[in-house]
């Protein structure tokens, strides 16, 4: 379930000169599948007040007013949508202008959501594939409007008429490649992925129809990694995650299983919480000491560190 945020109108001058530079990042997620959604009101917890910057761009009264109103709108939308929790941030040129959490990070314990609450990011991982794609474009390794099989010959599938088609990088990244929504679970290797693809007839010719596709982004990520000459998990670790120096943590209390390696997920593991929900962690640069088969972890425990430089 996702909240839709109605950002209030601001004067055109401010919108052009100031707010157009904002990067607004909103993460909304359920902490658990919980009967709260059958209630008339969203659950409430004692959230800390929003963290709002006081200098720099915030000295502009119109900008400051808009930022405060966004926090109010986010809180209202969470209540109206009966979301368990919501966290938002506004960043301008590497400066955090607003960070806030609303609702409950854990209903059973009454733990409030904060700007530091960890969520399952789900399809936000598609940003990783898109980032890798643009890095390779900027490095001159590919062109967005070239067909992918020019670089990765095995990246093709039958078109609606039965002939072989290969989308462009741009079509995969924009969900216009004509591919089905989901990928078959438990594909163990990259060759398995492309063999699977060869038997998936496109629903439309590439470039004709928008259709959200997880399969398309899996193909995008693995094809980009082949162009880079690295395994996907290595590329993401070295070129995206490692420079951030950020820990990866458990999203819930539970036990770890299937801790190990495969060619698609790299170092990966699963976390199962007390309600039977399962969470998948892949492309791990390293395991923390906690990451052992059968280990019991608490929400917030570090499952692996990101390093400031590549580690084997």
Q: Give the residue from 119, 150, 179 where a domain finishes.
A: 119
252 within a domain of the structure (yes/no):
yes
Q: What is the mean pLDDT of residues 143-159?
A: 96
Task: Give the tens place of pLDDT for each residue, 196-227.
Answer: 999 999 999 999 999 999 999 999 999 999 99
pLDDT of residue 152: 96
Percent of the chain with pLDDT over 90: 48
8 A C-beta contact, residue 214 and residue 182: yes
The enclosing domain of 298 has a CATH number of 2.70.70.10
Q: Give the residue from 88, 119, 150 where a domain finishes.
A: 119
235 within a domain of the structure (yes/no):
no
Query: In terms of domains, do 99 and 155 share one?
Result: no
d(CA 62, CA 18): 9
pLDDT at residue 14 is higher than 60: no
Task: Give the tens place of pLDDT for each residue, 181-195.
Answer: 988 877 878 999 999
d(CA 141, CA 137): 6
Half-sphere exposure of 199 (CA within 13 A, CB side): 6
2 within a domain of the structure (yes/no):
no
Place of tokens 């990694």: 225
8 A C-beta contact, residue 288 and residue 263: no
Domain count, the chain: 3
pLDDT at residue 35 is higher than 60: no
Radius of gyration of the chain (CA): 22
Q: Among 232-236, 280-284, 287-291, which range has the highest average pLDDT? A: 232-236
pLDDT of residue 232: 87
pLDDT-derived band at 18, boundaries 50, 70, 90: very low
Q: What is the DSSP string of 176-200?
A: -S---S-PPTT--SHHHHHHHHTT-
Q: What is the DSSP string of 222-289?
A: HHHHHHHTS-HHHHHIIIIIGGG---EE-SSSEEEEEEEEETTTEEEEEEEETTS-EEEE-S-S---T
| Beta-strand pair 23-29/85-92 | antiparallel
pLDDT at residue 292 is higher than 50: yes
Task: Identify the domain containing residue 42 by its residue range.
Answer: 12-119
């Amino acid at each position: 379930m996702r909240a839709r945020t109605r950002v209030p109108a601001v004067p055109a001058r401010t919108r052009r000169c100031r707010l157009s530079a904002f990067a607004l990042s909103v993460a909304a997620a359920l902490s658990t599948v919980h009967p709260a959604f059958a209630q008339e009101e969203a659950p409430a917890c004692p959230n800390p007040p929003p963290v709002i910057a006081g200098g720099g761009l915030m000295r502009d009264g119109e900008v400051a007013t808009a930022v405060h109103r966004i926090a109010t709108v986010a809180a209202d939308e969470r209540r109206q949508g009966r979301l368990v929790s919501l966290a938002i941030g506004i960043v301008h040129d590497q400066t955090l202008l607003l960070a806030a959490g609303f609702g409950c990070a854990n209903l059973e314990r009454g733990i409030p959501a904060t700007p530091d609450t960890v969520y399952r990011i789900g399809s936000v991982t598609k940003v990783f594939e898109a980032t890798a794609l643009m890095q390779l474009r900027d490095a001159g390794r590919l062109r967005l409007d070239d067909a992918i099989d020019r670089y990765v010959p095995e990246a093709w599938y039958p078109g609606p008429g039965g002939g072989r088609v290969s989308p462009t990088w741009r079509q995969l990244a924009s969900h216009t490649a004509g591919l089905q929504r989901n990928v078959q679970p438990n594909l163990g290797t990259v060759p398995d992925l492309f063999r699977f693809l060869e038997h998936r007839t496109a629903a439309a010719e590439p470039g004709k129809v928008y259709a959200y596709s997880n399969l398309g982004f899996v193909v995008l990520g693995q094809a980009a990694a082949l162009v880079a000459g690295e395994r996907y998990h290595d590329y993401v670790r070295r070129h995206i995650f490692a420079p951030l120096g950020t820990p990866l943590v458990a999203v819930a209390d539970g036990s770890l299983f299937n801790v190990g390696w495969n060619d698609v997920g790299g170092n990966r593991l699963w976390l199962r919480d007390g309600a039977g929900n399962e969470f998948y962690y892949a492309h791990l640069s390293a395991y923390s000491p906690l990451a052992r088969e059968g280990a019991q972890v608490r929400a917030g425990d570090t499952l692996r560190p990101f390093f400031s430089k590549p580690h084997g």
